[in-house]
Amino acid sequence: MTTDYALPQCWQDFEDVLATGIDRVVLFGPPGTGKTYGGLTQGVNVGGSYRLVCTEDMTSADVSGMFMPDKSGGFTWLDGSATKAWKGNGAFGGRLVVDEVDKASGDVSALLLAYTDTVASASMDLPTGERIKPNPGFTAVLTSNIEHPDDLPIALRDRFPVAIEINQPHPNALASLPEHLREVAKACVSAEPERRISLRGFYAYETLRRTMTEERAATIAFGKVRAEAFIDALRIGKLGA
């Protein structure tokens, strides 16, 4: 992946692991560090990437697919995210990125075990009668805000031999911010929990700042305590520029 910024060690580890051919990786750590962004973009092949956001009330249809009414009065099968990732572009499998996997229900977790099994063992019979297997090149990345990968279900964790703690923001995610905010954002994203501000907060701040003062935008986006620390850091940065 090309970037104008040096990769922090955690992201370099992810890149190096993918380069070895390991195709099942857990990215865990504090929110707002770009885990989903990295999973969807870093080392992805021509099969593309497909995101599955886990919630407690999601169903297996989100994973494998479902029949939906069509204009003819019948039903059409729509592939779910995991099925799309297995198929990829038809020749090469894609990347399945499972966000907040620790929030998946029991039925969904069980289905994910099937979709993240080794390529040699994995197969699925869809309700359409089609039997599918992952195309060559299929990879899977789990993301979570858990503190330790062993907090994941044992069977699911066993399918992912490598877990990398992401404690620094992805540089390409930082690059979408104005240059004067990048170093401040990098420091705040990596700060202690009581001072931490996620990248999503910075994106909101930058949007708000277009129509209001820096102080008001920061207070709305970050809350009063974090806003004061942010403004101080921003002013120090401007003075040193």
Q: Around Cβ 65, how many Cβ atoms within 10 Å?
A: 20
Q: Is 64 helix (H, G, I), strand (E, B) or coil?
A: coil
Structure tokens at 88: 């990829």
Q: Residues 196-223, buried b or exposed e (16+ Cβ, 10 A)?
A: bbbbebbbebbebbeeeeeeebbbebbe
**pLDDT at 2 (0 to 100):** 45
pLDDT recorded at residue 3: 47
Q: Strand 162-165 and strand 124-125: pairing? A: unpaired
pLDDT > 80? residue 65: yes
CATH of 9-165, one of 1.20.1300.10, 3.40.50.300, 2.30.30.90, 1.20.1050.10: 3.40.50.300
Residue 120: beta bridge partners?
none
Query: What single-letter DSSP state applies at residue 164?
Result: E
Judging by DSSP bridges, how do beta strands 124-125 and 131-132 pair with one another? antiparallel
pLDDT score of 5? 61
Is 50 exceeded by the pLDDT of residue 15?
A: yes
pLDDT at residue 238 in the model: 55
Could you tell me if 171 and 3 are in contact, meaning their C-beta atoms sit under 8 angstroms apart? Answer: yes
Mean pLDDT of 191-213: 88
pTM of the model: 0.86
Give the sheet arrangement for strand 49-53, strand by strand. Answer: 49-53, 95-99, 139-144, 24-28, 162-165
**Are 14 and 171 a contacting pair, CB within 8 Å?**
no
